[in-house]
A and B are shown apart, each in its own frame.
Chain A
């Protein structure tokens, strides 16, 4: 089996690494398969899911077809049941070297970001981290640029025949966006930020038609240098920021009464019909709330239907994580706070006064219906 990552003509098809935990597919898999479908259509290529897990994992594979995969290649082995860097890197690299995909997308989870760099280094190819937008077709890319940048597209010259995957990601805490390409090596690899790509509607007929292929892998136990002693699910209530329809976030403005501020945020989220409390980096760094509540470039990216920012000034690194929310309401005592630049509705006032009033008014409006 000859493999040379620089022989780019030998590579074809769009692949998505599909992560499973405890035998269950992750939501990110469906997001990436949906996005991969779009790219495969732009490239005129096949979309293939690469599913790695313990024996029997192939039984979950058809569901990936329902979101757009033409085929799922399955690596099943007892040593792949629980994630380890060594075993998964072997499985993915062996399969890639055998089949030579042009593109390999991986969800930027804590596991994807452990696996991706290791695989890219072994395959001698490029990897772009934590991407938020992907294009192959140049027309589509220019359409995106005209919306997402302040650039004058018409004054620039582009090679409209370019078929590299154009991977766009925020850099420097969201102050800049960069589009990265990997022109000389294949597969072109990207980790993709969870919660950003939109999931396509599930299609049962496509799921039934999806082809399943068992990969021929052989993992030598000598390469396994780590051992997972136990996997612990955190019993505390999970903070599902990414899936929440309503996020009420708190910032430094809660300083004078931290507990009270978090409580009023919870109550306001409840009044909106149930939601999750988010936080700015300052609040997490101060130790007032755990890091899984953090919204922003170094936290999570959210796009809920309603985002309420209470006492958050709106540093760009926070805005990067929430500015695509459908509706943004900001409350801040400082009328020049940058958060107002992205807010649909801005209220200059003390969150400790405004938020309880808002809660009562919402409940009253709902009761009056």
Chain B
């Protein structure tokens, strides 16, 4: 069994976010992190490795700095890393991105008992689309919103979260699972892992390396191959400021409540 974990390096949108004048994100000025749901996916994969001794490969698509993130994942316990990177892949929407990642995974080879783990969604786009679209393009089954994963023989038993409860679902390998961050608490890198991470190989798959894959077709990848386009992007205005109440705590509360009563809100 081999597990592929798909991870994305994202700007940390929980801190201060810089927006350019033209309404695009100023990525250069922001810190980057491993997407939180992807980290949960990595931990889920490493737990299966602890149990079965399988090989775990971290896979990411992005520019060269994502190499550092792949080394961090190796330091956590992944066996190797693959960076899918190339000018031809830039500007891809979720359809084109999943086309490229599925092409790369086919190129790496997917065996009968292999599993692909993804995070549910990335905090920069919040789409949750790339995981299911990779599964579709590889023609393998998927389970999204996984909150618990158990392996029994060649089957996986997954707890899949719904808004009003959950489902227990059985799935045959090869398959794809998207994980939510509530699934687990990711482990830390170890000192030994950090040292070893610099000796382990990170494979780079660029366009020339993948161009013979049937999924890597210039009409379905990159900006030109993306079905969706940005029509406009803009910054939302803030709602007009309201009133700051003044005085002691008692006075402020009294004024608030009399205002609410006047407006028939209470």
Contacts and interface: CB of A to CB of B under 8 A. Distances in A.
A42 interface: no
Contacts of B126: 129-130, 170-171, 173, 297-298
A151 B233 CA distance: 10
Contact of B236 (A117, A121, A177): A177
Contacts of B163: 109-110, 292
A277 to B, nearest CB: 17
A299 B250 CA distance: 33
Interface in B150-171: 157, 161-171
Contacts of A354: 249, 252-253
B241 interface: yes
B166 A234 contact: yes
A7 interface: no
Interface range for A? 35 or more
Closest 4 CB pairs of A and B: A126-B227, A173-B13, A126-B228, A344-B242
B256 A226 contact: no
A126 B252 contact: no
A229 interface: yes
B191 interface: no
Interface residues of B, number: 79
A347 interface: yes
A25 interface: no
A156 to B, nearest CB: 9
Interface stretch (A48-56, A249-257, A322-330): A322-330
Contacts of B98: 117, 121
Nearest to B252: A347
Interface of A: 21, 82-86, 89, 109-111, 113-114, 116-118, 120-122, 124-130, 145, 148-151, 164, 166, 170-185, 225-234, 238, 272-273, 281, 291-292, 297-298, 305-306, 315-317, 323, 327-329, 335, 340-350, 353-354, 357-358, 361-362, 365-366
Contact of B167 (A89, A230, A297): A230
Contacts of B254: 361
Contact of B94 (A127, A291, A328): A127
A85 B141 contact: yes
B239 A341 contact: yes
Contacts of A85: 132, 141-144
7 contacts: A111-B162, A150-B234, A150-B237, A306-B265, A344-B242, A354-B249, A361-B257
Interface of B: 11, 13-14, 17, 19, 23-25, 93-95, 98, 123-133, 135-137, 140-145, 157, 161-172, 175, 182, 226-239, 241-245, 249-250, 252-254, 256-261, 265-266
Contacts of B239: 323, 341-342
A34 B100 CA distance: 37
The B contact surface, by secondary structure, is mixed
Given A327-B265, A361-B257, A365-B266, A225 B141 contact: yes
Contacts of A130: 126-127
Contacts of B13: 172-173, 175, 317
A19 to B, nearest CB: 11
Nearest to A229: B168
Nearest to B20: A176
The A contact surface, by secondary structure, is mixed
Contacts of A344: 242-243
Nearest to B236: A177
Nearest to B228: A126
Instruction: From A83, A86, A171, A341, name the one whose CB has the most chain B CB atoms within 10 angstroms.
Output: A171
A129 B245 contact: no
A343 B137 CA distance: 46
Nearest to B246: A348
B14 A181 contact: no
A83 B258 CA distance: 50
B229 A228 contact: no
Contact of B169 (A150, A182, A227): A227
A121 B239 CA distance: 38
Contact of A232 (B14, B165, B170): B165
Contacts of B123: 173, 298
Nearest to B102: A121
B165 A173 contact: no
B168 A232 contact: yes
Contacts of B124: 171-173
A183 B164 CA distance: 36
A319 B266 CA distance: 24
Contact of A121 (B133, B140, B157, B172): B133
B244 A346 contact: yes
Contact of A316 (B17, B141, B175, B229): B17
Contacts of B245: 345-347
Given A145-B232, A176-B235, A346-B243, 10 more contacts: A83-B167, A118-B142, A120-B95, A176-B23, A177-B235, A179-B234, A182-B229, A317-B13, A340-B244, A341-B239
